[in-house]
Amino acid sequence: MAEEKIINVPKNVVLPFNPNKRSMLSGTATHIAFEVVVSKLLRYVTKMENRTWTELVAIHALSQPFLGGFNFLDQAKDIEAVKNNNKASKSADEKYLLMDQIKDGAKESPAVLVAMYIAATANKGFAFPAFGIRDVLLVIAAKALSRVALTNVHDKLPKALKDGVLVHEQLMAIQKAASSIAKKAV
């Protein structure tokens, strides 16, 4: 059991970026692109520290292996459930309403905070995190808004990207199910 968990760590690091799994790679790239663009826009609007595109891509790429494992709350709803939002015959549980999208996005923010800490440690060495409450709030808002944006344009994406996003969602669910951190938090 312990050996399996140790092997799971490098697998989670490599799997989102595996070039042999094109749908996984396209889903990861799409996810990162939405997060970076929303983060960059929020930083511009709030006049916060203007991080470079490269730095934001690096941070959001670093967060990918942690998305499932550091999601301490219930599993995110299926992104395709948004198709049911305009159907009166569907119950609220079968729909993916705006508030659910915001919550599901915000639940992924601990992974980005861990990635920010790793990036800061790589740049400056071990120290207390160099980000404050504004950074934490910006990460939460960016994750929430990027989830809303991705959910609402998902149907309009090319098939390869659409399938990639679904595969990426499945990977996060698998990571969450296998995470000992998330299990202890519940």
Q: Give pLDDT, residue 88.
A: 66
CA atoms within 13 A on the CB side of 34: 22
At 174, is the pLDDT very low, low, confident or very high (cuts 50, 70, 90)?
Answer: confident
Which residue is it, tokens 């996984």?
Answer: 24
* pLDDT of 1 strictly over 70: no
- The tens digit of pLDDT for each residue in 14-35 reads 666 666 766 778 888 898 999 9
CA 161 – CA 169 distance, rounded (Å)? 12
CA 146 – CA 114 distance, rounded (Å)? 18
At 37, is the pLDDT very low, low, confident or very high (cuts 50, 70, 90)?
Answer: very high
- The tens digit of pLDDT for each residue in 54-102 reads 999 999 998 888 887 776 666 666 666 666 566 667 777 777 778 888 8
- The tens digit of pLDDT for each residue in 115-139 reads 888 888 888 777 776 678 888 899 9
